[in-house]
Amino acid sequence: MPLRVGLFHCMGLAGKLNWLLVRHVPQASRSVIFFPGDISDFASKHAPYSYSLEGLLWVLSLKFPEDNVVLVKPRMMREHFAIYVNFMQVDSFGNPRSLADPQSQAEADPPQAVEHLHLLLRSLSTELGEELPSALLLLGFSKGGAVLNALMREAKVELWSRVQAVHFIDTGLNVPGVFPADEEELRKLKDLVPSSFEIWLHCTPRQLEDRLEWSRTTG
């Protein structure tokens, strides 16, 4: 299936930029926002195409044929590690740092995930020449789920009043203590989201049977 795809260098909070790989559907009623994990980068001869950002976009477009699909590329890829530094405080491998970490607490201008995404989507609307639909679906694969968690820790109406559902897909990290958002953060979120809002956790049998994996995921 051929796809018409656009690549946009969009500006978010404080002039910070992310590449957005976009399949735009005119008059779509919803936008699917996807955060990939480690390894995935633009297609090259050095990695299987199925791992590439283009390959992932193709699969998502098959899954959501009537929706806009917006793939948010990590700000940096370092030795195949996805580093979403514009969305959360991270270590050198792109893993989110604990909010209790002294280095995190000392940062003068920490990332604001919701505002950054909100401005990225506004910038994309300008590039497309039309407003994106209000309804959003948020998906995060592997380390991309850490971005969803960073977003869920910021209960702000400009984003969460638009979100229909959040999907964590095979989410996990090599460090503990970053999933999930705590009860107080989820209560604040509940006051902003639509009444039909849902959170989905998609896991493989291997993950469900691996106690070490779950201990890292849940902290």
At 24-34, the pLDDT tens digits run: 998 899 999 99
- Domain limits, the chain: 6-218
Just give the CATH number of 6-218.
3.40.50
H or E segment at 165? strand 163-169
**70 neighbors 147 (Cβ within 8 angstroms):** no
> Which amino acid makes up residue 71?
L
Q: pLDDT digits over 186-212, tens only? A: 999 999 999 999 999 998 777 667 665
Give the integer Cα–Cα distance in Å for 118 and 6.
19
Residue 92: which residues within 8 A CB-CB, separation 6 or more? 78
Contacts 24+ apart (CB under 8 A), 61-65: 61/1, 61/3, 61/23, 62/1, 64/32, 64/137
Instruction: Name, in order, each residue with C-beta under 8 angstroms of 45's C-beta and a sequence gap of 6 or more.
Output: none
